[in-house]
């Protein structure tokens, strides 16, 4: 069955609307997020902080031949940084007992040579005092 | 061979360990030491030296060597924590409901209110005569050495034990270690999982120094429908409310570890981690209320 004559045009309109929505969303995001980012930059690295910003990435203009004035948009990609503290993100807490993703489990002496009673078991424990 | 002695003191489970072949002559004395120190330093005993000091109301008092040393340790703790850990918050901790030993602390009746600290004392308000080993507390001021006293006792017990061999003392989670074990291996210290207390969430490996953990996962109670705990924020006079559940710190000695753990807890995970990282002698493991774990860089050396 042949496609409708106007089907392609309708797809173009959909694409244009979607593109405009994305561009507007990212523009507004950047507009309102900027003051907060400036404030954060004065502060030290934090466990859940955002990584350094990537270079601004141009947005596809889509079907607009003459883009309207829009602030430059930055897309921030999450990635670990060297200066960040080692963190282990845990799944969202589930009631009383959240699942913890343990970064490292070290139950022995780290492979050191030999014996000396006590093996790899902790001698004692620390807890909130 | 590890010789262990477990007992109860200062409202905590205690453990003293010596690594030596021959039977220890001093290990059985450890409970007596703690009893002696508790009689000096406890704010819960009406006849302790600290209680009597808190009732002197402006008169100079010559204190015992033990109390003097703990006072000095608390001065250092206040200094290294920029005032976050201070023994001058007795009023606040009592107003929060911690007015009796935790063992017998019961949920208080509703209707009682918790007021914000009105008088903010500092250690500098105390007149100190070092030559006479005398302290003069301003009228109305009381001291509560809290974890610093326990840290000092833990450290002191470890120092006394180490004459017989490598020693470890654990006072309810505050741990002092004298040096490597006889076989040269480090001591292994489990960090309990606050959500599953019978399991270790990490195991630290230390040759010497101190470990301490502070948090709101254990010593807490309800007052007027509000959860209270024993770590008081000196800026508000209220139990510190941050995103942290618990902080474990490794330091050159247990007193520093205790002070740093409390300071970091009060500061919260972000600023607390910065505070820890700025002090090369400290390493820390944070557990947040949402279960997230945050490691300082230097804690890797102990894992």
Q: Which residues of A sit within 8 Å Cβ distance of B?
A: 43-49, 85-93, 96-100, 102-107, 109-110, 112, 114-118, 120-129
Do residue A118 and residue B181 have CB atoms under 8 angstroms apart? yes
Nearest-CA distance A51 → chain B (Å): 15
Contacts of B173 in chain A (CB under 8 A): 125-129
pLDDT band at A6 (very low <50, low <70, confident <90, very high): low
Do residue B192 and residue A43 have CB atoms under 8 angstroms apart? no
Contact at 8 Å (CB) between B242 and B273?
no
Do residue A102 and residue B293 have CB atoms under 8 angstroms apart? yes
Rounded distance between C-alpha atoms, residue A27 and residue B224, angstroms: 48
Nearest neighbour of B201 by CB, restricted to A47, A89, A102: A102
What is the four-CA torsion angle of A62, A68, A71, A75, rounded to 10 degrees?
-10
**What are the tens digits of pLDDT across the range B196-211?**
878 899 999 999 999 9
Contacts of A93 in chain B (CB under 8 A): 290-291
Nearest-CA distance A104 → chain B (Å): 7
pLDDT band at B165 (very low <50, low <70, confident <90, very high): very high
pLDDT band at A97 (very low <50, low <70, confident <90, very high): very low
Nearest-CA distance B73 → chain A (Å): 18
Rounded distance between C-alpha atoms, residue B135 and residue B150, angstroms: 21
Name the 3-class secondary structure at A106.
coil
Task: Please tell me which residue of chain A has the smallest CA distance to B11.
Answer: A129
The secondary element (H helix, E strand) that includes residue A86 is: none
**Percentage of residues in chain A having pLDDT higher than 70:** 27
Do residue B2 and residue A117 have CB atoms under 8 angstroms apart? yes
Do residue B175 and residue A124 have CB atoms under 8 angstroms apart? yes
Residue B261: its pLDDT value, please? 94
Do residue B2 and residue A123 have CB atoms under 8 angstroms apart? yes
- Show contacts of B132-136: CB within 8 Å, 24+ apart: B132/B60, B132/B62, B133/B62, B133/B63, B133/B65, B133/B68, B134/B60, B134/B61, B134/B62, B134/B63, B135/B53, B135/B60, B135/B61, B135/B63, B135/B71, B136/B56, B136/B58, B136/B59, B136/B60, B136/B61
Residue B96: its pLDDT value, please? 57
Number of Cβ atoms within 10 Å of the Cβ of B197: 13
Do residue A47 and residue B273 have CB atoms under 8 angstroms apart? yes
Nearest neighbour of B213 by CB, restricted to A91, A115, A128: A128
**Counting Cβ atoms within 10 Å, is residue B264 exposed (0-12), middle (13-18) or buried (19+)?**
buried
pLDDT band at B296 (very low <50, low <70, confident <90, very high): very high
Contacts of B189 in chain A (CB under 8 A): 122-126
Residue B95: its pLDDT value, please? 61
**Percentage of residues in chain A having pLDDT higher than 90:** 10
Do residue A90 and residue B150 have CB atoms under 8 angstroms apart? no
Residue B285: its pLDDT value, please? 94
What the block records as the tokens of B230 is 């024993």
Mean pLDDT score, B107-115: 40
Nearest-CA distance A79 → chain B (Å): 17
Rounded distance between C-alpha atoms, residue B1 and residue A126, angstroms: 22
Nearest-CA distance B157 → chain A (Å): 16
- Show contacts of A96-100: CB within 8 Å, 24+ apart: A96/B195, A97/B195, A97/B196, A98/B195, A98/B290, A98/B291, A99/B291, A100/B193, A100/B195, A100/B201, A100/B291, A100/B293
Do residue A128 and residue B217 have CB atoms under 8 angstroms apart? yes
Residue B144: its pLDDT value, please? 87
**What are the tens digits of pLDDT across the range B220-271?**
666 666 666 677 777 777 777 888 999 999 999 999 999 999 999 988 888 8
Do residue B248 and residue A126 have CB atoms under 8 angstroms apart? yes
DSSP-assigned letters across all residues of chain B: -EEEEEEEETTEEEEEEEE-SSPPSSGGGHHHHHHHHHHHH-SS-TTSHHHHHTT-TT-EEE--HHHHHHHHHHHHHHHHTTTSS-TT-HHHHHHTT--S-GGG--PPPTT---PPP-----GGGSEEETTTTEEEPPTT-----HHHHHHHHHHHHHHHHTTSSSEEEEETTEEEE-S--TTSPPEEEEEEETTEEEEEEEEEEESSEEEEEEESSSSEEEETTEEEES-EETTTTEE--SSEEEEEEEESSHHHHHHHHHHHHHH-HHHHHHHHHT-TT-EEEEEETTS-EEE-GGGGGG-
Beta-carbon pairs below 8 A across chains A and B: 163
Residues 6+ apart with CB under 8 A from B14: B6, B7, B8, B30, B31, B34, B169, B170, B171, B172
Nearest-CA distance A6 → chain B (Å): 53
Task: Please tell me which residue of chain A has the smallest CA distance to B102.
Answer: A129
More reliable by pLDDT, B223 or B146: B146
């Amino acid at each position: 069955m042949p496609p409708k004559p106007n089907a392609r045009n309708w797809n173009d309109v959909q694409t244009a609307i979607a593109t405009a929505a994305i561009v507007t969303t990212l523009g507004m995001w950047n507009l309102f997020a900027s003051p907060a980012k400036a404030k954060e930059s004065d502060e030290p690295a934090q466990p859940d902080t955002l990584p350094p910003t990537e270079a601004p990435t141009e947005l596809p203009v889509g079907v607009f031949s003459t883009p309207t004035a829009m602030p430059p948009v930055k897309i921030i990609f999450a990635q670990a940084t060297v200066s960040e503290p080692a963190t282990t993100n845990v799944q969202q807490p589930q009631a009383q007992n959240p699942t913890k993703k343990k970064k490292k489990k070290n139950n022995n002496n780290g492979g050191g040579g030999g014996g000396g009673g006590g093996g790899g078991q902790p001698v004692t424990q620390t807890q909130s005092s | 061979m590890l010789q262990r002695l477990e007992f109860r003191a200062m409202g905590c489970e205690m453990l003293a360990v010596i690594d030596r072949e021959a039977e220890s002559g001093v290990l059985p004395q450890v409970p007596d030491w703690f009893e002696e120190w508790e009689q000096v330093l406890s704010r819960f005993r009406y006849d302790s030296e600290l209680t009597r000091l808190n009732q002197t109301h402006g008169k100079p008092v010559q204190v015992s060597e033990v109390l003097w040393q703990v006072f000095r340790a608390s001065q250092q703790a206040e200094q290294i924590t920029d005032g976050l850990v201070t023994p001058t918050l007795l009023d606040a901790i009592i107003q929060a409901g911690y007015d009796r030993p935790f063992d017998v602390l019961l949920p208080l009746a509703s209707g009682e209110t918790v007021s914000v600290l009105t008088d903010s004392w500092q250690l500098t308000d105390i007149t100190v005569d070092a030559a006479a080993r005398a302290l003069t507390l301003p009228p109305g001021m009381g001291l509560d050495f809290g974890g610093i006293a326990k840290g000092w006792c833990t450290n002191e017990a470890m120092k006394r034990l180490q004459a017989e061999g490598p020693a470890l003392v654990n006072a309810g989670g505050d741990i002092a270690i004298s040096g490597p074990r006889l076989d040269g291996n480090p001591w292994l210290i489990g960090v309990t999982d606050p959500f599953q207390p019978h399991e270790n969430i990490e195991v630290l490996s230390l040759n010497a120094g101190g470990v301490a953990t502070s948090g709101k996962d254990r010593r807490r109670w309800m007052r007027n429908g509000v959860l209270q705990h024993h770590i008081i924020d000196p800026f508000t006079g209220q139990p510190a409310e941050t995103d942290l559940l618990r902080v474990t710190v490794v330091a050159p000695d247990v007193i520093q570890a205790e002070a740093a753990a409390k300071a970091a807890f009060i500061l919260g995970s972000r600023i607390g981690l910065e505070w820890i990282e700025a002090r090369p002698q400290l390493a820390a493991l944070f557990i947040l209320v949402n279960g997230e774990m945050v490691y300082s860089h230097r804690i890797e050396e102990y894992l």
